[in-house]
Structure formats: C-alpha cells, structure tokens
C-alpha cells in the first residue's frame, strides 16, 4: 500500500511538474522524455548501470518421456514349445541374471535327447567304418564306391549330431554332459540379464507355442529420455551436452544426464526427437514417465543489461537513459537472448557509455505513461 501511494504521488507530482515547468513539446518528445524534480527523485529508489559484456546463459526447457533402449526390453518365449510346469514370476518382480524363470516339460524334449544320443552312438560306428574303408581303399582292397558310401554315411551322421547339439542348447541342455542316465523330461528358462518382470502372459499347465511370448522383462539400469525439440532450437547443442531433468510431481528433485543421440527427421509439428541418458540409475525413474528437461546454452560475449533495465510497453521493449540528474529518456531496445538475469542488447550502440536506469525503471515508465494519458 505504501508503494502504491508513493507511485500515485509521483505520477501527480510528475504531471504537475510537467504542466508548470516543461515547455510545450511535440507528441513524440512528450512520450519519451521525463523530467523529475529533486523532491520527486527522493520519493523512490533509483540506480543506474552501463552496458557490460556478458556470455548470456540461456535456459531452454523441453518435455519428453522416459523409454527403454530396445536391447533392454526382452520378450521370453520357448524355443521348441512345451507345457509350463512351474513359474514364480509376477509383474514387477525383481530377478537376477541366470535365475530360473520357468520350467517347461514336454515329450519332445525326451525325444530330442534320445535322437542325439542315438546319433552319437551311430556316429562312432560310422566313423570306425569310414576309417576302415579308407585304409582298404588305399591298398586297393576295397572299391571306391564302398569307400564313398562309408564316407557319406559318416558325414551324414556327423551333420545330424551337430544339428541336434544346437537344438539341445536352445533349450539349455548341455550336450557334453548328456548321457543315457541323465535324460530329462523338463527344461529351464533362464534370465538373460538382471532386471524386473514387466508382463506375465502364461499360467501353469498351459501349452506354450514357440511363437508365444511368455514373459516380458526389462533392464532399468539404462534408461533414456526422449525429448521433443523445436526446429528453431535445433543445432544449439551437441552430443554430450549436459541436461537436467525433473518430473511434474517433484520439480525439486533433479536428475542429471547427457545428450546421447539426435534425430534427423522433422515432424509435421516442426519438432525433432533428441535422446538423453541419465548419469546414474534411480529406481524412481520408470518407462513411460513424463519428464521436463532444462538445457543451458552459453552464447558468445555480447553487450548486455540486467533484465530489470528492460521494460515492455505497448508490445515493444524499452530502457531509460539518464540524460542528466533529473532528465530521463525512454529508448527502444532490440533485445536478444536472455538468461541468468541478463539480456543481450542488439542495438547496443544507442546505449554505450550511457547510464541506464536499473532500480526505479518501472516507476519511471508508470510516470511517463501517466503523463502521456493526460
């Protein structure tokens, strides 16, 4: 209330002073020049500054959503199919790398092991026959036809054995440890990494086809923030530029990160996608969360004024220059980037080596406006 009364008194005093003391001026001069008496100057705080060279730190604010890299989201299925015998997984559950996620059973697992052991046994005989026929053929005691057939039989069984070994590895059975006394009717599904269960699509007893997704797993140790960048701001930073992210729910908690990838396509909204990774893992961050991000851009040195000096009036920006102790002129400002309390002045030649009003600039604007209205 005290400030309002002070402003009203200053307006009235400025109006009276102008009417009594100031000569008749042109409309343009009357709207840009303000003269105050010594008494009026003592009624409010006034200070001046001069242009300074500053590296303006501009803060650009973006919005985005947290997402996972493709390699950190895995769909688990049964390579050969089978019935689900058991699983303890629930959505949101934590698991370690190599942990058993599920146990499957099926007669085809038994058949596959039987075929492998049979092929392995037959291969031993086929190899012995191949070696014998080779020696006989070299001494001309056996025909080339018999030797070639023995060789073909051996190589056919060798191919079959190698193929069956790879099928066994698909269902996590080690062929080197498989014997006639260790044939298993069940196989285990193991966790490929450490992480969390995202989805469970099966239940005990259900037959799982090879194309069916049993579980969806996520590794949250590496998340990225997908940010939307306007075309006008593109090119202001490079890969590795630091960012600070925060959520709408708790803007006080900041998450540091760096720009890791920059998109190359412009959408119909004239935006591009940019990706940033977080410096450290935080369990509070989850895929799908909306986030805000701030990126600080430091310009080259430019002539600048404190933001308090630059005022908006009728759609334009102005600053007051002190012509002398009691006289002030309002001059149009061509402002540039702003940040950390400073604003770049593009038409700095009009303000060099002049005293520009900082504290009290808004009071001068109100007084000048009051005179213009009268």
Contact 333, 310 (CB under 8 A): yes
Using DSSP's 3-state secondary structure scheme, residue 18 falls into: helix
Contact 291, 306 (CB under 8 A): no
Q: What is the pLDDT of residues 15-24, one digit of tens each?
A: 444 444 444 3
Extract the runs of DSSP E, i.e. beta strands, from 203-289: 207-208, 213-218, 224-230, 242-246, 255-262, 271-278
For 11-15, 233-237, 302-306, which range has the lowest pLDDT when averaged over its residues? 11-15
Cα separation values, 17 from 14, 39, 48, Å:
5, 11, 23
Average pLDDT over every residue of 42-59: 89
**Which of 100, 116, 109, 101 has its CA nearest to residue 81?**
109
**Which of 122, 133, 179, 128 has its CA nearest to residue 156?**
122
Q: Would you call 167 exposed, middle or buried from its count of C-beta atoms within 10 A (0-12, 13-18, 19+)?
A: middle
Contact 241, 223 (CB under 8 A): no
Q: What is the pLDDT of residues 312-326, one digit of tens each?
A: 988 899 999 999 999
For residue 8, what pLDDT band results from cuts at 50, 70 and 90? Answer: very low
For residue 60, what pLDDT band results from cuts at 50, 70 and 90? Answer: confident
Token digits of residue 171: 């269902």
Cα separation values, 374 from 26, 30, 68, 72, Å:
14, 11, 64, 70
* Three-state DSSP string of 193-216: CCEEEEEECCCCCCEECCCCEEEE
Q: Which residue has the higher pLDDT, 352 or 10?
A: 352
Ramachandran region, residue 223 (left: φ > 0; alpha: ψ -120 to 50; beta: rest): beta
First-to-last alpha carbon distance for the chain, in angstroms, is 24
Token digits of residue 350: 């009009």
Query: What is the chain's Cα-based Rg?
Result: 40
For 14-23, 179-188, 266-275, which range has the lowest pLDDT when averaged over its residues? 14-23
Task: Check residue 222 and give its pLDDT.
Answer: 86
For 3-17, 150-164, 172-186, 259-273, which range has the lowest pLDDT when averaged over its residues? 3-17
Mean pLDDT of the residues in the chain: 87
Task: Check residue 245 and give its pLDDT.
Answer: 95
Contact 171, 80 (CB under 8 A): yes
Indicate the Cα dihedral angle 363, 16, 20, 39, nearest 10°.
-60
pTM (whole model) above 0.85: no
Sign of CA dihedral 101, 107, 108, 112: positive
């Amino acid at each position: 209330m005290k400030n309002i009364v002070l402003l009203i008194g200053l307006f009235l005093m400025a109006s009276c002073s102008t009417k009594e003391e100031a000569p008749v001026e042109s409309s343009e001069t009357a709207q840009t020049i303000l003269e105050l008496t010594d008494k009026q100057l003592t009624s409010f705080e006034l200070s001046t500054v001069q242009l300074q060279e500053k590296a303006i730190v501009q803060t650009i604010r973006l919005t985005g959503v947290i997402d996972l890299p493709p390699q950190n989201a895995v769909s688990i299925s049964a390579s050969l199919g089978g019935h689900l015998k058991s699983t303890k997984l629930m959505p949101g559950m934590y698991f370690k790398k190599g942990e058993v996620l599920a146990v499957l059973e099926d007669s085809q697992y038994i058949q596959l092991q039987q075929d492998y052991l049979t092929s392995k046994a037959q291969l031993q005989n086929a190899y012995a026959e191949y070696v014998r026929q080779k020696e006989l053929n070299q001494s001309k005691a056996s025909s080339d036809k018999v030797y070639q057939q023995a060789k073909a039989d051996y190589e056919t069984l060798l191919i079959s054995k190698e193929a069956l070994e790879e099928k066994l590895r698909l269902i996590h059975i080690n062929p080197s440890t498989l014997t006639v006394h260790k044939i298993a009717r069940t196989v285990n599904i193991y966790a490929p990494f450490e992480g969390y269960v995202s989805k469970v699509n099966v239940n005990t007893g259900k037959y799982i086809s090879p194309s069916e997704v049993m579980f969806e797993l996520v590794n949250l140790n590496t998340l990225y923030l997908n940010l939307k960048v306007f075309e006008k701001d593109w090119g202001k930073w490079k890969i590795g530029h630091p960012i600070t992210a925060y959520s709408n729910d708790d803007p006080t908690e900041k998450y540091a990160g760096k720009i890791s990838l920059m998109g190359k396509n412009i959408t119909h909204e004239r935006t591009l996608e940019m990706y940033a990774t977080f410096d450290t893992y935080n369990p509070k961050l989850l895929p799908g969360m909306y986030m805000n991000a701030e990126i600080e851009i430091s310009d080259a040195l430019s002539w600048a004024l404190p933001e308090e000096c630059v005022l908006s009036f009728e759609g334009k920006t102005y600053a007051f220059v002190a012509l002398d102790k009691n006289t002030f002129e309002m001059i149009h400002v061509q402002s540039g980037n702003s940040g950390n309390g400073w604003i770049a002045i593009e038409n700095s030649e009009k303000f060099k080596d002049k005293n520009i009003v900082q504290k009290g600039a808004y009071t001068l604007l109100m007084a000048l406006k009051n005179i213009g209205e009268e």
